[in-house]
C-alpha cells in the first residue's frame, strides 16, 4: 500500500447550517501534510446517508486515503457508523475493550453507563479500533482494496489526541516515497501586492517543483515555499537557498524566519532579551493577552494585564488622568500613551502595550468613526503610538487591533536597543 493523496470529509448538519466553525480539517490537513500526504480535496456534508455514500465513492475514486470527522455521537442525528457498515457491507459488532473503557470512563465520573452510551462500543466488524482515551466514540480504521478509511469523532481535542496518539503513527507505515517540504517566513508592515511587486523577479525564477504562496492575515503576510520531490534533505536545501536569495529584497519587513505567528515572534525576542511584557486593553478586552498566552512557555515573559473596559478602571487602576479622558476621550493618542506608560510602572514590566478603540457597531462619531483604534507601546521612558482605521465590523476591528498591537510591540522591541 502506498498512500500519496487524501481527502477529508466533515459530517454534520451543524456544519452545513453554519452553527459551528470547523477547526478539525485545518489540523488534519497540517498533520497529513507533515507526513507528505497531499490533501487534494476537503468536503462537508450533512447527516444524510445517501450523501455520505456518494461522497465516499467520489473521494475514493480520487484519493488513497479518506479521513472523516463527526457523526459518531450516540444520538439519533449521528449516522456515520451505520452508513460505513452499509458502504463496506459489514455489520456492527460489540468491541469489548471499548465497552470496558466506557464503563471505567463513567465510573470515574461517578455515573452509570447508559444504554445510549453503550451504543458507542459497537463498531463495524471490518474495522480496527483505535481507542479514544478522551471521550466515548472510538476511532475506526478500515483498509480495503489498497485504500484506507479513518473515521474520527468530531470533538476537536478527542480527534487531535487520536491523530497524534495513533493515527499518524499507523499512517507512517503506509506512505509512498514522494515527500513535500514547506518553509514559511513571516512578514509584516507590507501588503500582499506590494510584497509581490518587490519579489516578482525572484518569484519568476523558481523552478517548477517549488511553489510560492502568499498567506495574508490582518497586517501580516506569510510567504511559503512548498517543494515536492523524493529527498527531504535535498528539498530543504533548495528551499533554504531560494529563501536566502529573497531576504535582502524584503529585509525590513521580515518578522521571523522560524515561527508562523507574531505572538511567537514576540516570545522569541523577549526570551532572547530577557524582558517581560504586560498589556492594558480596552476594546480588545483581553484578546491581546490571550493571544500571548496561547504560546506555550509564555509565563517566562508575560506577567499579566489590566483590561480597562470602563473609564473608571482606566482612571482608578491604570491612573489615566480624568482630564485626559475629558479633553481627548478614551479613544485618543493621549489616553493610550498614559495607559502604556503607567502600566509598565504598575505592573513592573519592561514593555507595556495599550489599546483603546471603538469596536462597534455602536459608539462611533463623525470625528471618530467605528473602527478608530489607538495603540501604544512603552518601556516607561520611550513610548510609540499608532492610529488604525478598521471597518464597521466589531469582530474584524478587535482582530485587527490585536494583531497590529502585537506587531507594534515586536517592532518596538526589535528597534529599541537599550530598554532601561
Residues from 147 through 206 that contact a second copy (CB under 8 A): 155-157, 160-161, 182, 184, 192-194, 196-197, 200, 203
Nearer to a second copy, 126 or 130 (CB): 130
Nearest distance from residue 379's CB to a second copy, in Å? 18
The whole-angstrom distance between residue 56's C-alpha and the CA centroid of its chain comes to: 28
Nearest distance from residue 235's CB to a second copy, in Å? 15
Contact stretch for a second copy (CB under 8 A) within 240-248, 266-274, 334-342, 385-393: 385-393
- Cell of residue 83, nine digits: 452508513
Interacting residues with a second copy between 18 and 57 (CB under 8 A): 18-23, 25-33, 38-46, 51, 55
Burial of 150 (C-beta count, 10 Å sphere; 0-12/13-18/19+): buried
Among 15, 142, 186, 269, binds a second copy (CB under 8 A): 15
Question: 210: which strand partners?
Answer: 227
Interacting residues with a second copy between 332 and 371 (CB under 8 A): 346-348, 359-362
- Cell of residue 342, nine digits: 503607567
What b/e sequence results for 91-122 when a residue is b if at least 16 CB atoms lie within 10 Å of its CB, and e otherwise? eeeebeebbebbeebeeeeeeebeeebbbbbb
Nearer to a second copy, 287 or 329 (CB): 287
Interacting residues with a second copy between 110 and 149 (CB under 8 A): 111, 114-117, 134, 136
Nearer to a second copy, 315 or 419 (CB): 315
- Cell of residue 233, nine digits: 534533505
Nearest distance from residue 365's CB to a second copy, in Å? 16
Nearest distance from residue 344's CB to a second copy, in Å? 13
What b/e sequence results for 242-271 when a residue is b if at least 16 CB atoms lie within 10 Å of its CB, and e otherwise? bbeebeeebeebbbbeebbbbbbbbbbbbe
Euclidean distance between CA atoms 115 and 330, whole angstroms:
58
Tell me how many degrees the CA angle 255-259-264 measures, rounded to the nearest 5.
85
- For 82-217, strand residue ranges (E) read 92-94, 122-124, 128-130, 139-144, 147-152, 179-188, 210-217
What b/e sequence results for 276-295 when a residue is b if at least 16 CB atoms lie within 10 Å of its CB, and e otherwise? bbbbbbbbbbebbbebbeeb
Among 241, 248, 299, 366, binds a second copy (CB under 8 A): 299
Contact stretch for a second copy (CB under 8 A) within 73-81, 92-100, 235-243, 405-413: 73-81
Residue 298 DSSP symbol = G
Nearer to a second copy, 88 or 218 (CB): 218
Question: Beta strand 122-124 with 38-45: parallel, antiparallel or unpaired?
Answer: unpaired
Residue 383 DSSP symbol = E
Nearer to a second copy, 127 or 306 (CB): 306
State whether residue 177 is helix, strand or coil. coil
Euclidean distance between CA atoms 132 and 166, whole angstroms:
10
Q: What one-character-per-residue DSSP string does 154-172 give? A: SSHHHHHHHIIIIIHHHHH
Contact stretch for a second copy (CB under 8 A) within 169-177, 239-247, 291-299, 377-385: 291-299
Q: Can you give the length of the chain in residues?
A: 420
Torsion of CA 141, 142, 148, 154, to 10 degrees: -40
Contact stretch for a second copy (CB under 8 A) within 71-79, 121-129, 240-248, 412-420: 71-79
Nearer to a second copy, 102 or 269 (CB): 102
The whole-angstrom distance between residue 336's C-alpha and the CA centroid of its chain comes to: 29
Nearest distance from residue 86's CB to a second copy, in Å? 20
Size of the site for a second copy (CB under 8 A): 112
The verdict on 271 binding a second copy (CB under 8 A) reads no
Nearer to a second copy, 32 or 239 (CB): 32
Interacting residues with a second copy between 196 and 255 (CB under 8 A): 196-197, 200, 203, 211-217, 222, 224, 226
Nearer to a second copy, 31 or 264 (CB): 31
Nearest distance from residue 192's CB to a second copy, in Å? 6
Among 83, 256, 279, 332, binds a second copy (CB under 8 A): 279
Nearer to a second copy, 143 or 259 (CB): 259
Among 74, 189, 319, 364, binds a second copy (CB under 8 A): 74
Among 83, 132, 220, 305, binds a second copy (CB under 8 A): 305
Nearest distance from residue 216's CB to a second copy, in Å? 7
Amino acid at each position: 500500500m502506498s498512500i500519496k493523496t487524501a481527502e477529508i470529509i466533515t459530517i454534520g448538519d451543524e456544519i452545513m447550517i453554519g452553527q459551528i466553525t470547523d477547526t478539525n480539517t485545518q489540523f488534519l490537513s497540517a498533520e497529513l501534510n507533515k507526513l507528505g500526504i497531499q490533501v487534494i480535496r476537503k468536503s462537508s456534508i450533512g447527516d444524510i446517508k445517501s450523501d455520505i455514500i456518494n461522497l465516499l465513492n467520489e473521494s475514493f475514486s480520487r484519493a488513497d486515503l479518506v479521513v472523516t470527522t463527526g457523526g459518531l455521537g450516540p444520538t439519533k442525528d449521528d449516522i456515520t457508523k451505520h452508513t460505513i457498515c452499509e458502504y463496506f457491507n459489514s455489520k456492527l459488532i460489540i468491541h469489548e475493550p471499548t465497552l470496558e473503557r466506557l464503563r471505567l470512563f463513567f465510573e470515574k465520573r461517578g455515573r452509570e453507563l447508559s444504554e445510549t452510551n453503550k451504543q458507542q462500543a459497537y463498531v463495524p466488524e471490518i474495522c480496527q479500533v483505535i481507542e479514544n482515551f478522551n471521550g466515548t466514540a472510538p476511532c475506526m480504521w478500515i483498509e480495503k482494496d489498497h485504500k484506507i478509511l479513518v473515521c474520527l469523532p468530531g470533538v476537536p481535542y478527542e480527534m487531535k489526541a487520536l491523530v497524534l496518539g495513533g493515527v499518524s503513527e499507523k499512517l507512517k507505515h503506509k506512505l509512498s516515497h514522494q515527500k513535500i517540504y514547506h518553509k514559511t517566513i513571516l512578514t509584516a508592515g507590507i501588503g500582499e501586492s506590494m510584497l509581490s511587486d518587490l519579489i516578482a523577479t525572484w518569484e519568476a525564477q523558481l523552478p517548477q517543483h517549488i511553489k510560492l504562496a502568499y498567506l495574508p492575515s490582518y497586517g501580516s503576510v506569510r510567504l511559503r515555499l512548498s517543494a515536492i520531490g523524493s529527498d527531504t534533505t535535498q528539498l530543504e536545501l533548495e528551499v533554504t537557498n531560494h529563501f536566502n536569495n529573497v531576504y535582502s529584497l524584503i529585509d525590513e519587513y521580515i518578522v521571523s524566519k522560524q515561527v508562523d505567528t507574531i505572538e511567537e515572534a514576540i516570545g522569541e525576542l523577549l526570551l532572547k532579551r530577557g524582558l517581560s511584557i504586560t498589556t492594558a486593553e480596552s476594546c480588545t478586552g483581553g484578546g491581546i493577552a490571550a493571544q500571548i498566552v496561547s504560546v506555550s512557555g509564555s509565563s517566562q515573559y508575560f506577567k499579566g494585564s489590566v483590561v480597562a473596559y470602563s473609564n473608571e478602571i482606566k482612571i482608578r487602576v491604570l491612573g489615566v488622568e480624568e482630564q485626559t479622558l475629558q479633553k481627548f476621550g478614551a479613544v485618543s493618542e493621549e489616553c493610550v500613551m498614559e495607559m502604556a506608560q503607567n502600566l509598565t510602572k504598575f505592573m513592573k514590566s519592561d514593555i507595556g502595550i495599550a489599546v483603546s478603540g471603538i469596536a462597534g457597531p455602536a459608539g462611533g462619531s463623525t470625528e471618530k468613526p467605528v473602527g478608530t483604534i489607538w495603540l501604544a507601546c512603552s518601556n516607561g521612558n520611550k513610548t510609540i503610538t499608532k492610529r488604525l482605521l478598521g471597518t464597521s465590523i466589531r469582530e474584524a476591528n478587535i482582530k485587527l487591533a490585536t494583531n497590529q498591537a502585537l506587531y507594534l510591540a515586536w517592532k518596538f522591541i526589535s528597534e529599541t536597543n537599550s530598554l532601561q
